[in-house]
Amino acid sequence: MNLSTVLENYQKVAAQLGQRNEIGLSLPSLDASIYCVTVESSVVTSAQSLAGVIGEFGGTTGWLGYQSGNEHFIACSEIVMSDRYGALLNAEMANESNASLHIRYNGNGGWIVTTFKHSAEEAGEGDSYLADSIAYVSSFNDGLKLQYKRFWAQGDGSKTTGVNPEFACFTGFGD
């Protein structure tokens, strides 16, 4: 069964459940599109190089997690890494090109940098995924929630069946 058929069947079941449901239960909403996602990872070994990667990515919204504090930015035109809170440990940001950059300190003096690029595509082009959107409570004082697009891949049949979550990409902040 291809992803188009899985999505179509899921939407039918969700609609039937909604029509017959008297106690308010429902399936989570899946996006109506199938996505093509490209994932690229690398290791960066200096703070100067990491600042270059962040600048080149052109994030407009996101957060930076340092040793002793966190900062977030919304509708930003230039991200400046600060040494006010110590070394950068983690970060996530999104840009206007449907890309998400995730940075994780690797414990060996470097950072794992992963870029996710996604777009709605016709089924069968590239690595295809179903998607939904989720939100998590953040530690920022302004009450914003971290927004993610979670991507689901179809199992190959040898270990899993159906669709399973593969990864989630930061997309911004929301209520």
Per-residue pLDDT at 4: 83
pLDDT at 144: 87
Domain range for 164: 34-174
Query: Does 2 reside within a domain?
Result: no
Flag whether 6 is in a domain: no
Cα(139)–Cα(45) distance, integer angstroms: 28
Mean pLDDT by 10 residues, the chain (175 residues): 82 78 73 90 95 93 92 84 89 94 95 94 66 88 88 74 87 88
Residue 93 maps to a domain: yes
Q: How many domains does the chain have?
A: 1
Farthest-apart Cα atoms in the chain, separation: 58
- Indicate whether 27 belongs to any domain: no
**Would you state the torsion angle of the CA atoms of residues 19, 20, 23, 28, taken in this order, to the nearest 10 degrees?**
-50
Residue-level pLDDT at 164: 85
Instruction: Report yes or no on 18 lying in a domain.
Output: no
89, part of any domain: yes
C-alpha neighbours within 13 Å on the C-beta side of residue 159? 2
Is 1 within the bounds of a domain? Answer: no
Smallest Cα–Cα separation from 128: which of 34, 49, 15, 55?
34
Say what the pLDDT of residue 1 is: 67
Q: Tell me, yes or no, whether 102 lies in a domain.
A: yes
